[in-house]
Amino acid sequence: MLGAFSQLSGCVDSEEKALIFNNVDDCTSFGVEEAACVSQYQEALANHDIESPKYNSAQLCENDFGFNQCENKGSIWQPIMAGFMLAAVAQAVDEGLDYYKKKKRRHAFYNGAYFGQSRPLYRSKDDYFSFRNANNSFVSSVSNRGTIMIKKSVTNEPVAAKRVTTKRGGFGRSASSRSSWGG
């Protein structure tokens, strides 16, 4: 019986603190230093260009994200970044603490903890009141900005290789019941 409990406890998806914001102003008004907010927002924008779902046409993108919620990037369309998420940086110890102190301007420091690894967030047409990551995993309700508790699997989730979608991907609530978007 004890062995079965040990195996089950290894499968528990623990939670960690994360910060969620719509934009830089939202971040600074929450109490995070402006330089850190700007740096983390820019990191999320850079990740957005890499991670976001990509479509062959505006219509296909708008089917998943809504009218005027997509942007053209050359020959592809992608959703507009709706917000960004900062995951808690592991507790610094000894030499790690010095590293994070040196990186303080890049990492957001709030309420005694460092946050970083900024990721873009999206709002789908089917589930407009939720933030979702690039893998279409639920992150939070849009009304829960600032500090939230989130499953580690969502903050550390590797982003699937993105491809250009030639048909409706079904990003959002209805699509979350399926295995992935873009199919």
Average of pLDDT values for 17-37? 93
- Count of other CB atoms within 10 angstroms of residue 75: 8
**Are the C-beta atoms of residues 122 and 52 closer than 8 Å to each other?**
yes
Q: How many helices (H) and strands (E) does the chain have?
A: 7, 11
Using 50, 70 and 90 to split pLDDT, how confident is the model at 65? very high
Is pLDDT above 80 for 3? no
Q: What is the pLDDT of residue 170?
A: 65
Residues 6 or more apart in contact with residue 31 via CB below 8 angstroms: 110
Average of pLDDT values for 79-108? 72
Average of pLDDT values for 1-22? 68
Average of pLDDT values for 66-79? 94
Instruction: Report d(CA 23, CA 37) in Å as an integer.
Output: 8
Question: Could you report the per-residue pLDDT of 152-175, keeping only the tens digit for each?
Answer: 887 777 776 566 676 656 666 655
**Are the C-beta atoms of residues 24 and 38 closer than 8 Å to each other?**
yes
Is pLDDT above 80 for 12? no
Mean per-residue pLDDT of the chain: 80
**Are the C-beta atoms of residues 134 and 165 closer than 8 Å to each other?**
no
Is pLDDT above 60 for 88? yes
Question: Could you report the per-residue pLDDT of 116-140, keeping only the tens digit for each?
Answer: 889 999 999 998 899 999 888 899 9
Average of pLDDT values for 39-52? 94
3-state SS, 148-169, equals EEEEHHHHCCCCCCCCEECCCC
Q: Which of 90, 145, 109 shows the shortest CA–CA distance to 37? A: 109
